[in-house]
Amino acid sequence: MALAMFRNMLSGEHGVLGINGRNLDLIYPLNDRKHFPNVDDKLLCKKLLSEAGIPVPKTYHVIDSPSALDGWTKSVGNTDSFVVKPNCGYGGNGIILVRRDGDGWVVGGEPCTEEDISFHVLEIFNGAFSRDNVSDTAYMEQMVVNHRDLAQFIGEGVSGVADMRLIFRETELVMAMMRLPTRKSGGRANLHQGGLGIGIDISNGKSLQGCQGNDVISHHPETGEPLPDKSIPFWREMAESGSRISDVVGLGYIGVDFVCDDTEGPLVLEVNARPGLNIQIANQAGLRARLI
């Protein structure tokens, strides 16, 4: 039913934006390709944002050659957890969450040795997760802990991190959604793997209805709790901070992904030059109508 509704919206007066419309009307005219590396290179993006005073997660260690592997255990120090990421990865591929367990490590609930982690880093370096299978840089980053006010949205026992996707046309906030991890998604806030997309009323920062896959939902499928009318923490800070990012990265149409850490507040996790369109299903509203 929800998919049929969305198809009707595409062909009707609701102003839903399709891929061709996004590319022709927004990405091509507003996003000069020479500036794409400012967001596709995640370490460069973090540097630009940090220099502009926009908070990002801490980077513990960068591995841009096999010899740079030697220092990673010292760089993560006494931290109990960290994230390993490919610098030019896409779709979440190659990202692993590492947690300390006694004298060892755990990844995805399974014991993991330092050699296992080093092998994964070498896979990243050899291009296993890059867009064109070319050599990439790996880095180890602070693991965010969900702000306590986000517990109302996440089922018990789900350890993944929620994020907020905000769409901007230059300084104008156009649409937003929250992406929630679930048991079905294995703790990942990925809509294609069973995570939830929850629309956000950009006028007041409160949750709306949402979607799981192509199904529009009003209650959390795992907790039964109603989704609408719950306040998103740090909404004003995220909206104001995000409105500055277009100028920082030189792109006019972007998706900015925020996370809300329990001690540090809102941090920019990633900036996307080609933001996806499922945000329209979560909001039951069209981007084209908002842009007009």
Asked whether residue 150 falls in the same domain as residue 135, the answer is: no
Asked whether residue 117 falls in the same domain as residue 256, the answer is: no
Domain end, chosen from 108, 142, 176, is at 142
Domain end, chosen from 93, 119, 142, is at 142
Asked whether residue 176 falls in the same domain as residue 80, the answer is: no
pLDDT in tens, 257-267: 999 999 999 99
pLDDT in tens, 231-262: 999 999 999 999 999 999 999 999 999 999 99
Contact 72/61 with Cβ under 8 angstroms? yes
Asked whether residue 277 falls in the same domain as residue 152, the answer is: yes
Q: Which residues form the domain of 32?
A: 2-55+145-291
CATH number, domain with residue 281: 3.30.470.20
Residues with Cβ within 8 Å of residue 97, at least 6 apart in sequence? 81, 83, 107, 108, 143
Asked whether residue 49 falls in the same domain as residue 80, the answer is: no
Asked whether residue 24 falls in the same domain as residue 150, the answer is: yes
Predicted TM-score (pTM) of this structure: 0.90
Asked whether residue 215 falls in the same domain as residue 283, the answer is: yes
Which pLDDT band, with edges at 50, 70 and 90, does 14 fall under? Answer: low
Asked whether residue 92 falls in the same domain as residue 206, the answer is: no
Q: Which of 26-30, 112-116, 163-167, 191-195 has the lowest mean pLDDT?
A: 191-195
Tokens 């991190």 correspond to 161
Which pLDDT band, with edges at 50, 70 and 90, does 15 fall under? Answer: confident
Q: What's the number of domains the chain is made of?
A: 2
Asked whether residue 103 falls in the same domain as residue 189, the answer is: no
Domain end, chosen from 142, 172, 200, is at 142
Contact 272/262 with Cβ under 8 angstroms? no
Q: What percent of the chain has pLDDT over 90?
A: 68
Mean pLDDT value across the chain:
90
Asked whether residue 84 falls in the same domain as residue 33, the answer is: no
Contact 262/147 with Cβ under 8 angstroms? yes
Asked whether residue 92 falls in the same domain as residue 42, the answer is: no
Asked whether residue 169 falls in the same domain as residue 69, the answer is: no
Residues with Cβ within 8 Å of residue 192, at least 6 apart in sequence? none
